[in-house]
């Protein structure tokens, strides 16, 4: 199977006067269509590595390949386009725009990448909202729905441009355990239905155990790679 994300000899140093090395020579890749988690203690480097994969941050040394293309030396505009069209992001805090409705928030990445939504895209957004169980609140302002619904809106938004990759940084960090479980079921269904590759940071071992591959980070290094057949 093809590698859709590939990190080669990645290191990351923060700061200029006081330098802190937080990633040490990381080699890590993910297969197309796979469902993965990243675990590790607070401060171990999980978000840093995910942000580098997602081209939101640049490595200090090393190479990053997304879908076969080297990205660490791309210019800003190229990166913005690649991100918009290839990668969906889900963060711990959803960053929905409060003055827009649920549906408008879901359409936002399309708007940014391609301009005014077509009828077909609006239909797709509605389908995604149906998939995440939000049809009834689609015309509510995003502030007028629950936390779990906001998180599901963010998931639909991450999928609107049909990305090959979804990167999630503790996507259920502020939800109760029931909602957390529902959201993971949903992500797994999306992985199966759309063959989207997922890399999900989680603090929750029970969640990690549900993924096909667990990557553990310790002090900026890969500790172990557990591969199961789930
Ligand atoms: N912008 C920054 N400037 C300086 N140091 C940073 C910066 N961002 C992160 N760090 C440091 O890099 C290390 C890794 O941080 P990172 O956010 O990747 O950890 P994490 O594993 O995601 O932790 P958490 O589970 O708490 O989210 C930490 O020691 C952190 O203090
Ligand atoms: Mg983090």
Cα within 13 Å of Cα(70), Cβ side: 6
**Does 202 contact ligand 1 (Cβ within 6 A)?**
no
> What is the best residue among 44, 49, 174, 202 to mutate for testing ligand 1's pocket, by most ligand atoms within 8 Å of CB?
44
pLDDT tens-digit profile, the chain (230 residues):
799 999 999 999 999 899 999 999 999 999 999 999 999 999 999 999 999 999 999 999 999 999 999 999 999 999 999 999 899 999 887 789 999 999 999 999 999 999 999 999 999 999 999 988 999 999 999 999 998 899 899 999 999 999 999 999 998 877 778 878 888 888 999 999 999 999 999 988 888 998 999 999 999 999 965 555 55
Longest dimension (CA), the chain: 53
Which of helix, strand or coil describes residue 44?
coil
**Does 90 contact ligand 1 (Cβ within 6 A)?**
no
Element (H, E) at 81: helix 76-86
Per-residue pLDDT of 24-47, as tens digits, reads: 999 999 999 999 999 999 999 999
The pTM score is: 0.91
Residues in the chain: 230
**Does 40 contact ligand 1 (Cβ within 6 A)?**
yes
């Amino acid at each position: 199977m093809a590698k859709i994300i590939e990190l080669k000899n990645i290191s990351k140093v923060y700061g200029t006067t006081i330098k802190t090395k937080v990633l040490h020579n990381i080699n890590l890749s993910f297969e197309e269509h796979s469902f993965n988690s990243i675990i590790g203690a607070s401060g171990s480097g999980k978000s840093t590595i995910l942000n580098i994969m997602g081209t939101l941050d640049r490595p200090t040394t090393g190479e990053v390949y997304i879908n076969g293309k080297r990205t660490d030396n791309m210019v800003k505009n190229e990166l913005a386009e690649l991100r918009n069209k290839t990668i969906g992001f889900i963060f711990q805090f959803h960053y929905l725009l409060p003055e827009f409705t649920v549906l408008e928030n879901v359409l936002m990445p399309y708007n940014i990448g391609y301009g005014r939504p077509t009828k077909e895209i609006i239909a797709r957004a509605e389908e995604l909202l149906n998939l995440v169980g939000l049809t009834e609140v689609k015309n509510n302002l995003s502030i007028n729905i629950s936390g779990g619904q906001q998180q599901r809106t963010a998931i639909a938004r991450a999928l609107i441009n049909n990305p090959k990759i979804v990167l999630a940084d503790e996507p259920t960090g502020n939800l109760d355990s029931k909602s957390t479980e529902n959201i993971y079921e949903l992500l797994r269904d999306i992985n199966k239905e759309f063959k989207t590759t997922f890399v999900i940071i989680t603090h929750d071992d029970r969640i990690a155990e549900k993924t096909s591959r667990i990557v553990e980070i310790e002090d900026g290094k890969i500790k172990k790679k557990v591969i199961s057949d789930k």
